[in-house]
Structure 1
Amino acid sequence: MTRTLRIPAVVLGLALALAGCGGGDTPASTPTAGGTGLEKTTIKVGALPVPDPAALYIAQAKGFFQAEGLTVEPVTITGGAAALPQIESGALDISQTNYVSTILAAGQGKKIKLVADMYQAAPNTFAIMVAKDSPIQSVADLKGKTVLVNNLRNIATLAVTSQLKAAGLAETDVKFAEKPFPEMGNAINSGQGDAIWITEPFITANKNTLGFRTIADTMTGATADLPIAGWMASEEWAAENPRTLAAFQRAIAKAQQLASSDRKEVEAILPTYTKIDAKTAAAITLGAFPATLDPARLQKVADLMLEYKYISSPVDVKSMIVPTSG
């Protein structure tokens, strides 16, 4: 096909890569910042300009961080995996991450802690789509085809592989190729692939602009309600800044609860930090915003990764989570 996808400006600049609370008492020898009891009163937090970290900006707008004596400086990142070196170097104090990347890093010996939940899949938030005139009608028809994903060996390929298994196919029955979300429509139209794995707001953009069809919701069956993204910090930073971390987590939990209970709060905040306008924000399908980091729920991701050989040995996710101090 030769048509050109003209993604609206509200979504053109987006690129998704697809990324429990903590804190104990501060030792008596630990210095406080500005008399607040916090080790640091200003922290840099990495986040993507996508719906997932909406609670960060809700917390800012509602004064939740301020109430904790904390100033948060958001830093735009390109992905959770890309932010890991910044977390390790101290350039970022806390960052958004996707759970697959974090568990992979932990399996490689990286000293990373998960400090709060962020985003969980819901029906129709991550889909396999094809062009409207494609002969592909189901996942079974993908055999021998090329599926475009934003990253290889990550949540994208894990989700698609799960659907392939349900259809009686193996990961090797398809070819995966990387392509940023905003470029996927053009790539399909120019013959670079047969199907795309995509998320919002690009699901809506491709459907409305080109008439792309969804052939599978990839968050069903084994991947139903799959945890997608959370907040991470280095093990060292979490240990050295327990009160600061706890303050961040209390504010985030409060904002997550608000995002979870009132979609309008998310719709209102999205245009302030993304290129999603108000009309698009009201139309897209959103995932869930859990207020607590549940080890049992998150273990599901690690178990799927082990099943599909993303990791060579089991990872106990509970050991990665900083317990909440309330």
Structure 2
Amino acid sequence: MSNFSSATSRRRFVQWALGATVAAPLAGCSVLNGGSGSSGSSGGNSGGPVEKSNITLGILGTQGSVGAKLAEKYGYFKQQGLNVTIKPYAQGPQAVPALINGELDFAVINYVSYYQAIAAKTLDAKVVVDGDVATETSQAIMAKPDSGIRTAKDLVGKKVGIQASKSLAELLVRATLKDNDVDPNSVTYLPITFPNIPAAIKSGQLDAGVEVEPYLTTSEQKDGLQPVIKIISGSTANMPVTGYIATSKFIDANPKTVAAFQRALFTAQRDATDRAKVAEVLPELSGVDQATAALLNLDTFPTANNPAQLQRVITLLQAYGGMTAQLNAADYLVPTPQM
């Protein structure tokens, strides 16, 4: 598998390129003041009033929440008759109890955790909006320049950091090894969080580790590490990462509210093709300054829900995550509304 030298040079050349797949939470919460907020406010293109206009959304400090921040900034929630209070969470699963007990109406969560919960029957919820899709440069295996690691075969017998056991990071490494005819069990997987992986590599605790933005870029800048192996490629190309979910109970009781929320988010995610607009929300989401944000690699942001795409996450879990449940992504996905 080819190394990342050309991709790294390209990123430094096009320093205006923006993106943020990060694991850090937002510094604080924010509220969109969009009108009176009384139940029954009219939503734009909704065909009638929404059932609930004051809603609370739990987000992550990751690229999967870019749509929410753009919808807030540009008034798309307000246009749909929604007053949205945004609450940050460090990890998506932390928001699940608040979602279940009604403190949150919607929440951003990584798909691996979501489908694991669905399979375990500990969560009755559906994906409302597909949040972000990884690209081949927004996640990668990092190592020291003199590590000797350049291909999947070079990972045999090595210690690799993977954020958490059975996380997307681990599944992507396992799939990459399998794609390159390497035994996925020939690597030692160590659960070390993204922010701590650079130090673990430098100390020798790890030989390599999976990184996402902004840690991918900051580990290059501050720690001298480099991306050595692509993990968003081949069978894992364009892999969905996170989505906005709501409980089935809330969806059934508030169909117009859900459709209005979807329209606001998908409108915002169309805006996310404009890097200048994404740049306006990246620093708050990623926790880095504007100059560093300009070096980060950007995910892509779907403008419609595609069950075939999300089925790939389930397939990945079944192949490498020990999932035995036969889930159909379409059964856990709210269709895209008329825009």
- Relative to 1, partners in 2 of residues 1:16 and 1:316: Cα closer, same or farther, differing over 3 Å? farther
CA distance in 2 between counterparts of 1:282 and 1:76 reads: 23
| Correspondence for 2:275 | 263
Counting only pairs closer than 5 Å after superposition, residues 124-163 of structure 1 correspond to structure 2 as 124-163=137-176
- Relative to 1, partners in 2 of residues 1:141 and 1:16: Cα closer, same or farther, differing over 3 Å? farther
* Contact 2:166/2:321 (8 A) holds in 1: no
Report sequence identity in percent: 33
Counting only pairs closer than 5 Å after superposition, residues 170-189 of structure 1 correspond to structure 2 as 170-189=183-202
* Contact 1:126/1:199 (8 A) holds in 2: yes
* Contact 1:125/1:217 (8 A) holds in 2: no
Residue 314 of structure 2 corresponds to residue 302 of structure 1: yes
Q: Which residue of the other structure, out of 29, 39, 58, is the alignment partner of 1:33? A: 39
Q: Which residue of the other structure, out of 119, 124, 132, is the alignment partner of 1:119? A: 132
Counting only pairs closer than 5 Å after superposition, residues 1-326 of structure 1 correspond to structure 2 as 15=23, 33-36=39-42, 37-109=49-121, 110-259=123-272, 261-326=273-338
- Relative to 1, partners in 2 of residues 1:254 and 1:35: Cα closer, same or farther, differing over 3 Å? closer
Q: TM-score, normalised by structure 1?
A: 0.87
* Matched residue SS, 2:232: coil
* Matched residue SS, 2:185: helix
Q: CA deviation at 1:138?
A: 2.1
Q: CA deviation at 1:16?
A: 5.3
Q: CA deviation at 1:34?
A: 4.7
CA distance in 2 between counterparts of 1:275 and 1:309 reads: 31
Q: CA deviation at 1:35?
A: 4.5
| Correspondence for 2:8 | none
In structure 1, what residue type is equivalent to 2:241?
Answer: I
Q: CA deviation at 1:185?
A: 0.8
* Matched residue SS, 1:163: helix
* Contact 1:132/1:210 (8 A) holds in 2: no
Q: Which 10-residue stretch deviates more, 239-248 or 222-231? A: 239-248
For structure 1, which runs of at least 5 residues remain unmatched after alignment?
Answer: 1-13, 18-31
Q: Deviations over 1:166-207 (max 9, x none)?
A: 232223211111122111111111222111101111111111
Q: CA deviation at 1:54?
A: 0.9
Q: CA deviation at 1:276?
A: 2.1
For structure 2, which runs of at least 5 residues remain unmatched after alignment?
Answer: 1-21, 26-37, 43-48
Aligned length, in residue pairs: 298
Q: TM-score, normalised by structure 2?
A: 0.84
| Correspondence for 2:10 | none
Q: Deviating runs (4+, > 3 A) in structure 1?
A: none
Q: CA deviation at 1:82?
A: 2.4
Q: Which 10-residue stretch deviates more, 90-99 or 268-277? A: 268-277
* Contact 2:198/2:219 (8 A) holds in 1: yes
CA distance in 1 between counterparts of 2:209 and 2:334 reads: 36
* Contact 2:109/2:244 (8 A) holds in 1: yes
Q: Deviations over 1:232-271 (max 9, x none)?
A: 1111111112121111111001000110x21111112112
* Matched residue SS, 1:69: coil
- Relative to 1, partners in 2 of residues 1:235 and 1:256: Cα closer, same or farther, differing over 3 Å? same
* Contact 1:127/1:199 (8 A) holds in 2: yes
CA distance in 2 between counterparts of 1:137 and 1:98 reads: 28
In structure 1, what residue type is equivalent to 2:23?
Answer: A
Q: Deviations over 1:65-95 (max 9, x none)?
A: 1111111111111222222222112121101
CA distance in 2 between counterparts of 1:243 and 1:306 reads: 34
CA distance in 2 between counterparts of 1:317 and 1:46 reads: 22
CA distance in 2 between counterparts of 1:100 and 1:38 reads: 31
Q: CA deviation at 1:324?
A: 3.3
Q: What CA RMSD, in Å, does the superposition of the two structures yield over aligned residues? A: 1.7
- Could you say which structure has the greater relative contact order, defined with CA pairs below 8 angstroms and 6 or more residues apart? 1
